[in-house]
Structure 1
Amino acid sequence: MNSKITYDISNVINISKIHLSQEQLKVISKGLKFVPTPTSINTITTVVNCEKSLFSTPKLTKSAAISEISTFIQKWRKPTKFNINKEEAKLLKEIKSIENIVIVQADKGGKIVVMNKNDYFNKIEEKLNDLNVYEQVKKDPTTIIKTE
């Protein structure tokens, strides 16, 4: 990892009740689309997840997809360069283990917001209950929409 890369922790706003260290905020500031370089592939989990997601897919398409996935797994090699160091990986694991927070993109300004999970769910429910934006339906309109 290039040690010259710096991250702007002012991009992260913590409104949760949990105190996050400067180091944790730096890891979060990498962004919501940041994905650590994988160190390994869990073959069984990968195949099972793919099988589940392809459950209702036509047999021919499913076979082709599984073949592509198998080829990928066989060719996969452990990367020589990583985009996260061991300390950052440990911090990321710590952050992921905090069950009562969510980390989301702010509605405006491109900031990252850390908030209490309950507060997040309350805001979502408040938005969904706004009758100026959403209309409550009496029955599931999915079949009608599919036929249109």
Structure 2
Amino acid sequence: MYNLQTDTIVRKDLTLEQEKTKERTVTTHGKKLRILNKEPAGQDYQSLKTKRIHNISSYVLTPAEERISCRGWEFCIENKINNFIEFKTNIELNMKKIEHSCHRNAFSTICCKIFNASDILMKLAKKKNIRNISDEEFKAIKSLKANTNIIICRAGKGNYIAILDKQDYINKAEEILKLKQFRHTEKSLLNEKEKSMNSYISKLLKDKIVDKHLYWRIHSTSSSLATMSWPT
């Protein structure tokens, strides 16, 4: 007898089968692209995910937000194609990669169509901005920027991104500021200390304890205080 429970089971089985079919299709297409391209096609976001982004916040990133974050701290959005000759050369080089897999007539037809399409694209690109990210990723950047509950900062000195809860970031910053190496001051004492140090170094030069080469190496100019960014 067909009932609600049976319907639920059937739906689950269908969903599971669809997911398996999709996964097999994506895997198959990926293999074909790698064979044609003779190398991995596009960016491997799954491998980049663990290398360039550390999400330790309670916020769950959307796939688009995760993809754009995986590009790293130094990634910049570009709105136009600057080198059209290089762009067309890349198209021609990629076309050569599939030449051995196509019939001569078919390859000739494909080349003509792609070259015509590239010419049209380049003509349009001169009049229209073309971003190097998808519309979905562009919306993801706006979404992350508008999220006031998280802090996005650089993790260390590399091309890495860390995402933290804003309150956790503030709490940790307050803990650090309570340590003994910090002290409150109304004005910077850096200029006075820099002048004092340079005066001492000049005395060493005058007394011929150091030479000019070493003097200019240790001479201080335009020093700046270490600062900690504070979220608003």
TM over 0.5: yes
Q: 1:123 aligns with which of 172, 175, 179?
A: 172
Q: Name the CA shift for 1:129/1:98 in 2 (closer, same or farther; >3 Å).
A: same
Q: Secondary structure of the residue that 1:19 maps to in structure 2?
A: coil
2:162 aligned partner: 113
Query: How much does 1:22 deviate?
Result: 2.6
Which residue pairs with 1:101 in the alignment? Answer: 150
- Name the structure with the higher helix share: 2
Aligned residue identity for 2:49: I
CA distance in 1: counterparts of 2:74 and 2:43, whole angstroms = 17
Is there any run of 5+ residues in structure 2 with no aligned partner, and where? 1-40, 81-125, 197-232
Greater RCO, 1 or 2 (C-alpha within 8 Å, sep 6+): 1
Q: Secondary structure of the residue that 1:94 maps to in structure 2?
A: helix
**Quick check: 1:18 aligned with 2:66?**
no
The correspondence for 1:144, drawn from 171, 192, 195, is 192
Q: Under a length normalisation based on structure 2, what TM-score does the superposition of the two structures give?
A: 0.39
Q: Give 1:82 deviation, angstroms.
A: 2.9
SS in 2 for 1:102: strand
Shift of residue 121, structure 1, vs aligned partner? 1.7
How much does 1:122 deviate? 1.7
Equivalent residue letter for 2:147 = I
| Contact 2:152-2:163 at 8 Å conserved across structures | yes
Determine the C-alpha separation between the residues in 1 that align with 2:128 and 2:43: 20
Query: How far apart are residue 146 of structure 1 and its match?
Result: 6.8
* RMSD, matched Cα: 3.0
After superposition, the Cα gap between the structure-2 partners of 1:23 and 1:135, relative to the gap in structure 1 and judged at 3 Å, is: closer
Q: Do structure 1's residue 5 and structure 2's residue 43 form an aligned pair?
A: yes
Q: Which structure is larger by alpha-carbon Rg, 1 or 2?
A: 2
Q: Distance in 1 between matches of 2:73 and 2:130?
A: 21
Structure-1-length-normalised TM-score? 0.57
Task: Letter of the 2:67 partner, please give it.
Answer: K
The 1:147/1:103 distance shift into structure 2, 3 A limit, reads same
> How far, CA to CA, are the matches of 1:4 and 1:93 in structure 2?
24
Give the unaligned 5+ runs of structure 1.
Answer: 40-76
1:85 aligns with 2:123: no
1:59 is aligned to none
How many residue pairs match? The answer is: 107
Instruction: Give me the whole-angstrom Cα distance separating, in 2, the residues matched to 1:107 and 1:99.
Output: 22
Q: Where do 1:35-74 residues align within 5 Å?
A: 35-38=76-79
Looking at structure 1, the residues matched to 160 and 195 of structure 2 have their Cα atoms a distance apart, in angstroms, of: 41
One-letter code aligned to 1:144:
E
